[in-house]
Amino acid sequence: MKITNVTYERLDLVLNEPYTIAYETVSKATNFILKVETDSSIVGYGCAAPDLEVTNENAEDVERALDLVILPYLKGKNPINYKKILEELKPLLSVVSSALAMVDMALLDIAAKKMDVPLYQFLGGYKKSIATSITIGIVSLEETMLQAKEFVNQGFQIIKLKGGLSVEEDIEKVLRLRESFPNLTLRFDGNQGYSVRQAVQFVEQTKTAKLEMLEQPTLVGQDEKMGKITKLVPIPVMADESLKTLKDAFRLAQNGRMNMVNIKIQKVGGIMEAMHIDSVAKAAGLKAMIGCIDECRLGIASGLHFALSRPNTLYADLDGHLDFENDPFKGLFSIDKGIMTPNGKAGLGLIS
């Protein structure tokens, strides 16, 4: 099999409503869709979602990588040699996160379609579905409660609350959510907004809310502070922005800096790299969550298939597509009462 043609499309996606986290307000996102055609009529698709804060790339970086490196490099290659292709391509790219993830997805999509199985089965087929959380950004207490009620009415059983700007307001929101929704699973993401003292205060004063986890309480680069919080609080601490590479996973796990890892396909450079990170986490006794950034449904589908193939990836936060007005991808998976299930078609589920 050979790659005969490689093209891409830029998607400028708009959110129905902007959302705020501790370090920014987001109203739009750019995604790139890679289309890889072969001489066997099998077509693979990948998605890149550059985010300067998360992936260290912007849209122009990825577009330049596509035009100058990725498109000319891929043509004529055998896509089934995806591991070799990814290893050779990586040092050629000045930006390697979402740009590489996009190629990784497309090649794995082709390989799974060649076997005529969904990608999660090609990768191992451990689970058939997974429950996802849905996120509430930093809004007023009143708006937090309104959004929570709406999400619960839609059937979601897990809510992730964003915070990190005011520990007092974060505590109040968590306690009110627990009071109003006693059976809801609650997660909290500090998005790098806390000091050690604030994180400990937050956990102590929300003890009755029985939070499932505390995500990335401290700034990137403050590994020791995150590790101190991990030792001081009774709930699991999860690394997100601090974990962008396989080396990060090894360093953080080796030094006991966290209890959990948040693996994002776009952030770490693809499904293959995500599998290595998950293995490091498993070896260190750390559970994993599959996360996402502002990705269209095609990108979200890659995270879903990865999670379903891994016994150690027990948690999902795959809601990054829900608020886009103009996402062109439909039907790749379903969400019923917060449970995500792929459509059962080969590869990522997109058949051209």
Separation between Cα atoms, residue 267 and residue 244, nearest integer Å: 6
**Is the four-CA dihedral 140, 138, 153, 330 of positive or negative sign?**
positive
Q: Which residues contact 57 (CB under 8 A, 6 or more apart)?
A: 50, 51, 95, 97, 98, 99
Cα separation of 310 and 332, whole Å?
20
Return d(Cα 102, Cα 98) in angstroms, integer: 6
Q: Are 6 and 73 in contact (CB under 8 A)?
A: no
CA dihedral 275, 278, 284, 289 (to 10 degrees): 180
The CA distance from 40 to 3, in Å, is 9
Widest distance between CA atoms in the chain: 61
Where in the sequence numbering do the catalytic residues fall? 162, 264
The Cα angle at residue 115 between residues 103 and 288, in degrees rounded to 5? 55
317 is in an annotated binding site: no
How far, in Å, CA of 164 to CA of 166, rounded? 6
Is 170 part of any known ligand binding site? no
Q: Would the CA dihedral through 271, 276, 279, 284 be positive or negative?
A: negative
SS3 assignment for 146-172: HHHHHHHHCCCCEEEEECCCCHHHHHH
Residue ranges in the chain assigned as alpha helix (H): 59-65, 71-74, 82-89, 98-115, 119-123, 141-153, 167-180, 196-205, 223-232, 246-254, 265-268, 271-283, 297-309
Q: Is 240 labelled a binding residue? A: yes
Under 8 Å between Cβ of 21 and 137:
yes
Known binding residues for Mg(2+) are 189, 215, 240
